[in-house]
Amino acid sequence: MHSRRELLSRTIANAQRFERICFELAAIKAPSKKMKAIEVAAHFANGTGAGVYRSRELEAALSELAKMIASPIDPGKTDRSGVLHVMSTAFPWGGHTRVVERWIDLDGEKRSQSVVLTEQGTQPVPKLLNDVVTNAGGAIHRLRDKKSIETRAEELKSIALGYAFIVLHIHMHDIVPSLAFGLPSFPVPVIFYNHADHRFSVGMEVAHAVAETRSWGRALTGARRGIPNSKRLGIPLSIKETGSSTDQGFSRDQLSIPKEAKIAIASASQYKFQPFLDLNFFETVKKLLRRNNRIWVLLVGVSETFCRQQLIAAGCDAYDLQRVIPIRACDEAQFKSYLKAADVALDTLPENGCTAAMDYISNGLPVVSRKTFIGQMDYLIDQPEYVRTDDEFIDQVLGLMDANNDHKITAARQFENLNNDCRSEVFLGRLDDLYTSATVKNPVGLADGNLFHGFSDLDLFHTHRTTLI
């Protein structure tokens, strides 16, 4: 594992390289080549730690290129209606697409909802996304990947002009919306949903409103992106999530887990489990297993090879390894069967799982989370299970597994907090305010030229992730 000094040195080098990349853009004259170079630059800034979360240079170049994107005839349309959700790619797993599905499901009772996909390629569109869009009276548009960036931007612009609102749920490198909506005269209000609030992104400059998932992201957007008035929208609960209780024994036999065992579960994409400096999920698991030999751990979303390597590196023995079961990413029904077998949920380290925590709590599982530089969702920050140290984390987990402790009381308290912050009426109220705000504001515009405030652990973390590729 790299030391803090090594990561800082690499981060400084990354920042210098990104500056050079931006400087060299001016020498590229061919529009198609410049678009590709900007996309590559955005990939670089998003994929590593460079101390930047927006770039004035990239946004200015995109703004100039947007002038050449053809506009369809639009004689002051007055019949625009519905919401167009712009996604780069829709996935069958993970939280990103689930958020869009829930948004459409809830808001679809008021407004028609459609989706356009800029980078889906030949990947199938998830069935649930198809279903909620159909139920909301909308359509799914797929831009053809083999077309040039410019052509895709023109197609997106043409589609978008028929809607009352546009919401960007895009990947952080996706420049197609910036090109399509980059002129100040573009007539449809654009909302940027900042789903990756801790990462660099393009696209905010064309938005009339920036929506955040949490207060932590709103603070970062103010400090590191120069946007002081973003709005906290949150992540909506699914209508079907009603705080159902757990059902012990549902899948223990098929996983060969003893009936007397206590089960902890953690779920996330594999990269969220990668150790960083003193934040090592697998060392925490080892301590937990050593403190109570009846505990078994389900890790959903990781490979067996990765899990075994990390556990051995953390000093786990054969008995420890036997009690940690890695499970590949699975569909929602299978995932919920694992939740029904568990007693407590472990939030991931160093990067927490926002929608996963909602799934835990909504299914009657209390979750324990560790305070880190990446922050947490608002519904958990005032809970006693949100702790500072490894020892406090383990004590909380063991306490919830204690036979004398009714963990359902903790689960009910956490669900009440979650429900108060994320239930449909609350989300829809914030959403109506967001739509109104977007109609009366000018676009955010280009980033300020002086947004660098030194390097933090967040920047080092992004660099660390790059070294693992």
What DSSP string describes 305-321? HHHHHHHHHTT--HHHH
Residue 264 is predicted with a pLDDT of 97
Tens-digit pLDDT profile for residues 242-285: 444 444 445 677 788 998 999 999 999 888 999 999 999 999 99
Structure tokens at 5: 């000094």
Q: Quick check: 463 and 14 in contact, CB under 8 A?
A: yes
Please tell me what DSSP assigns to residue 444. -
Percentage of residues in the chain having pLDDT higher than 90: 79
Residue 426 is predicted with a pLDDT of 97
Residue 247 is predicted with a pLDDT of 45
Is 0.85 topped by the overall pTM?
Answer: yes
Residue 79 is predicted with a pLDDT of 80
Task: Evaluate the CA torsion angle 367, 372, 374, 376 in order and state its sign.
Answer: positive
| CB contact set of 162 (below 8 Å; sequence gap of 6+) | 77, 80, 82, 84
Residue 7 is predicted with a pLDDT of 96
Within 13 Å of residue 437, how many CA atoms lie on the same side as its CB?
Answer: 19
Residue 337 is predicted with a pLDDT of 87
Q: Quick check: 363 and 340 in contact, CB under 8 A?
A: yes
Tens-digit pLDDT profile for residues 410-458: 999 999 999 999 999 999 999 999 999 999 888 999 998 777 888 999 9
| Residue ranges of the chain whose pLDDT lies below 50 | 241-249, 469
Superfamily designation of domain 253-422? Glycogen Phosphorylase B; (3.40.50.2000)
Considering just the CA atoms, what is the radius of gyration of the chain in Å?
23
CATH architecture of 83-237+424-440: 3-Layer(aba) Sandwich (3.40)
What DSSP string describes 219-248? HHHHHHS--TT-EE---PPPTT---PPP-T
